[in-house]
A and B are shown apart, each in its own frame.
Chain A
């Protein structure tokens, strides 16, 4: 059974870079699928951030593209998110999930709350 687990700092200062990792178990990233990041500000809806294929091919939400980098490490079976120049508006629960090229996302990680504050 495929499982995903997000990890990373829970607190990031404004203007700094948010960095998260998603460890995948029960499935080899190299076997296929896209691997994506989705976030949810407290009390608000879901927002797709971007996705990556095991080859390293990426596609990003246009509204975040200038600040986002998603990378993959097939040797560790994990993928990562970097979001630069963060502000309080980037405070959210960040989820990682698996998908084909496009929807649906399944399964999801449990999510990790990242707060942007000085």
Chain B
């Protein structure tokens, strides 16, 4: 399929761990990238490839993949991690790019 499905919303207690998932057939062949988007701001890349963080991204963000599911884990969530998170990859043909439906993360 050419879709990436994410849970609409998740919540996490301050300092705890949260996993955000992204499901799609193309993820069996391609890695997902992950973006954080805060209200009124452009998305920011937080994870790409197998499990790579751009410079400046805290190491509490990590990525993994298994089968048709990619995951973004925030270990020790902070108040500033409250945001929308989107996954991004290729579609099943490999020729086009798609985004996940997005997950709103609330830090309690």
Contacts and interface: CB of A to CB of B under 8 A. Distances in A.
Contact of B44 (A45, A103, A108): A108
A95 B45 CA distance: 14
Contacts of B44: 108
Interface bracket on A:
20 to 34
B54 interface: yes
A59 interface: yes
B54 A103 contact: no
Contact of B88 (A62, A95, A104): A104
A62 B33 contact: no
Contacts of A48: 88, 96-99
B101 interface: yes
B61 interface: no
Nearest to A36: B97
A61 interface: yes
Contact of A46 (B31, B32, B86): B86
B42 A59 contact: no
B103 to A, nearest CB: 10
A108 B95 contact: no
Contact of B45 (A45, A46, A60, A104): A104
A59 B96 contact: yes
A51 interface: yes
B65 interface: no
Interface string A86-118: 000000000100000011111111110000000
